Amino acid sequence: MKQTIPYKFIGGRIAKTGLAVFITAFICHMLDWPAMFAVITAIVTIEPTVADSIRKAYVRFPAAAIGAGFAVLFTFIFGDSPYSYASVSLATIIVCHKLKLHDGMLVATLTGVAMISTVQDHYLSSFFIRLGTTTTGIVVSTAVNFFVMPPNYSTSIIKNIHALYRRSGDILHKRGLEIFNSQGSDGTVRSDFQRLIKDIDKTETLCHYQKAEYRYHRFSREDMRNFHYEYKKLTILRQITYHVGNLIFLPTVLPELEKDRKKAAAAVLEDIKDSLYDPGFLITESHHKKISEVTQWFIEQKQLNPAGGLRPRTHHHVQPETAILYEVLSIHDLIEELNQIQTMEIKHRKLLKAPLEAGAQKGGEQA
């Protein structure tokens, strides 16, 4: 089934950007300051996490001061002319790069260029007003990001990980059937695999965002424990994709198998796919028996072709069939590890619920 993502007209970050712009413009209006520079700063300062907003605020303020300073300097020298715009842009970018103020380079350049047309004879007062508006935008956007709808990526991480496991099961199943049926790949498996890797990277980025949020917002121990388990699952998913990738990028010469072996391999792949689809990564008894047969098959294959023993010796020390069986067994081992993690997670949840239920029952008896 094709998974669809529900469409959201407006997200938390968009709403916070609009709120930060409104508050920033309102403050500048009350102070009779030009709001354009403050609004520009507020827009670019809303980051995915509070930690990023605070960290980059320390960079953007001195960078904006550099841009404003160059705007005043070159406007004094050249006036409102093309030379001023070019000089401010180049000088701001060069100095910010030399000082490693990369996160503030965009704000500094925009501030400096936009400031040229507004600088009049009062150069010093214009400089400090621009610093004031920039500071207002940084402080307001950081405060909005901190207090209004604090970033929480836990739900997205859990949904993504389960969806990614299902997709990895689909890719493995399709590629496995191609291998065991000695069919060439049509290219869709590789493209699906590349998209899977990119989505895993995005989910890992969300995990880093969530870990950064723990420094600035209070989360329960249960939330942090759940995140810990989900991150373990993501790490194992990364390992599974390594083995799936090895199967995808196998040599073009695929092994010819007997009909019974093809049937057994297809059954194992179907069971692995079902386990990856299951939220608890359930492994059935029949699947254990099939894996035992594959293990015996793997041992026989190694004994039959030790480093190309009975077959013509090539530069490959591991025959394709042996490598395929190894990858399948490795993926099964990782699924067993996932099943153990899921079991531990359920036990911890029960241990947390037990005192609460006991307290509620005791309170009921006293009443």
CATH of the domain at 228: 1.20.120
* Model pLDDT for residues 126-154, shown as the tens digit of each residue: 888 888 888 898 889 888 888 887 778 88
Instruction: Specify whether 203 is located in the same domain as 183.
Output: yes
* Model pLDDT for residues 67-102, shown as the tens digit of each residue: 989 998 998 888 888 999 999 999 999 999 999 998
Ordered alpha helix ranges (H), 278-319: 285-304
Alpha-carbon gap, residue 341 to 347, rounded angstroms: 10
Q: Specify whether the CB–CB gap between 172 and 122 falls below 8 A.
A: no
pTM exceeds 0.85: no
Whether the predicted pLDDT of 314 surpasses 60? no
Contacts for 149 with CB less than 8 Å, ≥ 6 apart: 12, 15, 16
Which of 127, 147, 167 marks a domain boundary? 147
Instruction: Specify whether 182 is located in the same domain as 273.
Output: yes
* Model pLDDT for residues 291-302, shown as the tens digit of each residue: 998 899 888 877
Q: 136 vs 24, 29, 30, CA distance in Å?
A: 6, 12, 12
Instruction: Specify whether 259 is located in the same domain as 228.
Output: yes
Instruction: Specify whether 133 is located in the same domain as 276.
Output: no
Q: 273 vs 1, 197, 228, 278, 287, CA distance in Å?
A: 14, 18, 24, 9, 11
Mean predicted confidence (pLDDT) in 328-354: 83
Q: What's the one-letter identity of residue 342?
A: Q
Indicate the angle between helix axes 82-98 and 105-116, nearest 10 degrees: 160
- Residue 365 belongs to a domain: no
Instruction: Specify whether 123 is located in the same domain as 252.
Output: no
Instruction: Specify whether 343 is located in the same domain as 215.
Output: yes
Instruction: Specify whether 206 is located in the same domain as 125.
Output: no
pLDDT band, very low/low/confident/very high, at 365 (cuts 50, 70, 90): low
Alpha-carbon gap, residue 111 to 45, rounded angstroms: 14
- Our count of domains for the chain comes to 2
Between residues 327 and 44, the one the model is more confident about = 327
Alpha-carbon gap, residue 119 to 100, rounded angstroms: 27
Q: Specify whether the CB–CB gap between 291 and 350 falls below 8 A.
A: no
Q: Based on C-alpha coordinates, what's the Rg of the chain? A: 30
Instruction: Specify whether 278 is located in the same domain as 324.
Output: yes
Instruction: Specify whether 250 is located in the same domain as 289.
Output: yes
Tokens of 273: 């796919």
Alpha-carbon gap, residue 336 to 344, rounded angstroms: 13
Between residues 188 and 250, the one the model is more confident about = 188
Domain hosting 21: range is: 13-147
Indicate the angle between helix axes 35-45 and 105-116, nearest 10 degrees: 160
Cα angle for residues 260, 266, 270 (degrees, 5° grid): 145
- Within 10 angstroms of residue 284's Cβ, the number of other Cβ atoms is 12
